[in-house]
Structure 1
Amino acid sequence: MAPIAVGETIPDGTLAYFDEQDQLQQVSVHSLASGKKVVLFGVPGAFTPTCSKRPFCDEGMEKFLGDGSAKYTHALGLELDLSEKGLGVRSRRFALLVDDLKVVVANIESGGEFTVSSADDILAAL
């Protein structure tokens, strides 16, 4: 499957997050993004050195959502199969600027780099 591209509509899907009472909640991507400008970040390992040392947003501006089974990542065409390394299927590192469900900017890393998908890169595109 080809990765999602500029001009395409993001697929709907379900992501998860913990609410203020530490209860797992599920939410539709379209319900969050419809009629809004949002940024979706994908990271292959949230607690790996690259992801942990490079914060994405100022505190209070973000909502951290999980795609534990990588179903939504697959729907975007942005999965990364690291099974040979014992790490399973994960997300490629990316940042998508989405305006009313349409991709405006797609900053997708080509490998293990961190060159185009930072918060600074996506903020510059705003």
Structure 2
Amino acid sequence: MAPIAVGDVIPDGVLSYLDENNKPQTVSIHSIAAGKKVIIFGVPGAFTPTCSLKHVPGFIERAEELKGKGVDEIICVSVNDPYVMGAWAKSFPENKHVKFLADGSAKYNQALGLELDLTEKGLGTRSRRYALLVDDLKVKVANVENAGEFTVSSAEDIIKAL
């Protein structure tokens, strides 16, 4: 499938997270994004260096600015289970706005056309690194990285596009 592009409607998909009692729950992307301006950013893996030291912190640090520019939700998606995503979220105690959602089977990233096959590196199917700006389910900005890069999908890149 071709990667999601500007003008496309995002596919619906079910992602998971841990509730306040550490119980897995599911949520539909459309239920979060319909009628709202949202950022969905994907990372190859929780607790990995670029994701943990640059990508996620940028969205956490700039969340208030993004909200001030009309962004309703900021969603981090990774091909991990909800327990890993919950633990990763807790490693950012300053976070007040970024939601961490698990795409454990990579089905949502496949629906976006943004999966990354890292089987040869022992990591299986992962997500490409990306940042989408979505307004009422329609993609307004699609910043998708080449494998191993972090040059176009930062919070700063989305702020420039707003």
TM-score between the two structures when normalised by the length of structure 1: 0.96
Residues of 1 paired with 2:50 and 2:146: CA distance?
15
Which residue, out of 43, 64, 82, partners 2:100? 64
**Identical counterparts, % of pairs:** 71
Residues of 1 paired with 2:158 and 2:139: CA distance?
12
Residues of 2 paired with 1:119 and 1:47: CA distance?
18
Unaligned runs of 5+ in 1: none
| 2:36 alignment partner in structure 1 | 36
| 2:7 alignment partner in structure 1 | 7
1:1-126 aligned at under 5 Å gives the runs 1-54=1-54, 55=57, 56-58=59-61, 59-126=95-162
Deviation at 1:38, TM superposition (A): 0.3
RMSD of aligned Cα (Å) = 0.9
Residues of 1 paired with 2:22 and 2:42: CA distance?
22
Count of aligned pairs between the two proteins? 126
Residue aligned with 1:113, SS: coil
Tell me which moved more, 69-78 or 55-64: 55-64
Unaligned runs of 5+ in 2: 62-94
Structure with the larger helix share: 2
Deviation at 1:84, TM superposition (A): 1.0
Residues of 2 paired with 1:103 and 1:32: CA distance?
14
Tell me which moved more, 14-23 or 87-96: 14-23
